[in-house]
Amino acid sequence: MRPQNLKTRVFLDGGNPEETSESIKLLGFLDGQTTNPTLISKNPEARKRLERGEKFSVDEILDFYRGVVTTLYGLIPKGSISIEVYSDAATKADAMLRQGKEMFTWIKNAHIKFPTTREGLKAAERAVRAGMRVNMTLCFSQEQAAAVYAATRGAKKGQVFVSPFIGRLDDRGENGMDVIANILSMYAQGDGHVEVLTASVRNLDHFLYALKLGTDIITVPYEVLRTWGEKGMPMPEDGYRYDAKSLQPIAYRVIDLNRHWEEYDIRHDLTDKGMEKFSSDWNQLITTEQRKIA
Ligand code: E4P
């Protein structure tokens, strides 16, 4: 059962509904799930098909993705399920929005993931105005989170998530958890319309510190969620301290949230690399002559 003092919503980060069922069995609750092209490419059914040497056509892979999220919806009908659009460096906002609109009809509790890039923010701005729920992914900086806030101003609470990726910052020696702390402090001065979804979680320390910081949502890979469940779902104690080891701190910056989103410096090399990886994992699933859906 959900620990009484757990305020953060806990999502599973994955593309395999078996893990969703197992997580619900183990924890007794699950507040949602995030998917992405890499996670869908690791789905066991998709892997089996590829091992038989059969790739998907564009329509088939979209049907497959739709099937996966429809199953997830059956398991978590009241939570939120994030579905990611295909995007590479050349994908324009119109193409992202077109895909997002279609994906938004797949299930009743979808949040559509757009990259935190210029084109992704343009698409999100229009999606939010059209009443869609969005999850801005591949966020690595406080300034990108400020742009998400500004681009989605006027959205209802629950309509917009921003997903800062902590593990990928850690991977290159920077303290990803600082970005969570910094964004939460910055947003505390705003109107609360964007919720912080801590993503790219790699271990239980990330998880416990994110709860301690008061992240709105956290998405957690199955192995980490299982470890937490098997330990009896511990919560961070009063004196809990996160050990950042030798990771380089990322300093808090004073950023005015009242600017137009295009005025913020949203470039980040990890966002570009992340898009490359997501699009290449997706394209690996598709027959060569049919690649690129955008
Ligand atoms: C979830 O929304 C993200 O796509 C995911 O947490 C990324 O995790 P990774 O950095 O381990 O790929």
The per-residue DSSP string of 132-155 comes to --EEEEEE-SHHHHHHHHHHTTTP
Q: Is residue 4 part of a domain?
A: no
**What range does the domain containing 122 cover?**
9-290
List 113, 122, 245, 273, catalytic entry = 113
Cβ–ligand 1 distance for 165 under 6 Å, the answer yes
Tell me, in angstroms, the distance from the centre of ligand 1 to residue 77's CA: 22
Over residues 171-208, the pLDDT tens digits come to 999 999 999 999 999 999 999 999 999 999 999 999 99
Position 293 scores a pLDDT of 52
Residue 154 burial (10 A CB sphere; 0-12, 13-18, 19+): exposed
Q: Is residue 254 part of a domain?
A: yes
Position 288 scores a pLDDT of 82
Total count of domains within the chain: 1
Residue from 13, 195, 207, 220 to probe ligand 1 pocket by mutation (most atoms less than 8 Å from CB): 13
Global pTM reads: 0.98
Helix segments in the chain, DSSP class H: 17-27, 37-41, 44-51, 58-75, 93-104, 118-129, 142-151, 166-171, 176-187, 204-213, 222-230, 269-283
Q: Which residues of the chain have pLDDT under 70?
A: 289-294
Position 292 scores a pLDDT of 58
State the CATH number of the domain containing residue 37.
Answer: 3.20.20.70
Position 294 scores a pLDDT of 46
Cβ–ligand 1 distance for 136 under 6 Å, the answer no
Residue from 38, 81, 82, 200 to probe ligand 1 pocket by mutation (most atoms less than 8 Å from CB): 200
Over residues 37-55, the pLDDT tens digits come to 999 999 999 999 999 999 9
Q: Is residue 56 part of a domain?
A: yes
Cα 110 from chain centroid (whole Å): 12
231 is catalytic: no
Name the average pLDDT for the chain: 97
For residues 265 and 80, give the distance between their C-alpha atoms in angstroms, rounded to a whole number.
Answer: 30
Q: Is residue 2 part of a domain?
A: no
Tell me, in angstroms, the distance from the centre of ligand 1 to residue 274's CA: 9
Position 242 scores a pLDDT of 98
For residues 83 and 73, give the distance between their C-alpha atoms in angstroms, rounded to a whole number.
Answer: 11
Cβ pair 139, 162 in contact under 8 A: yes
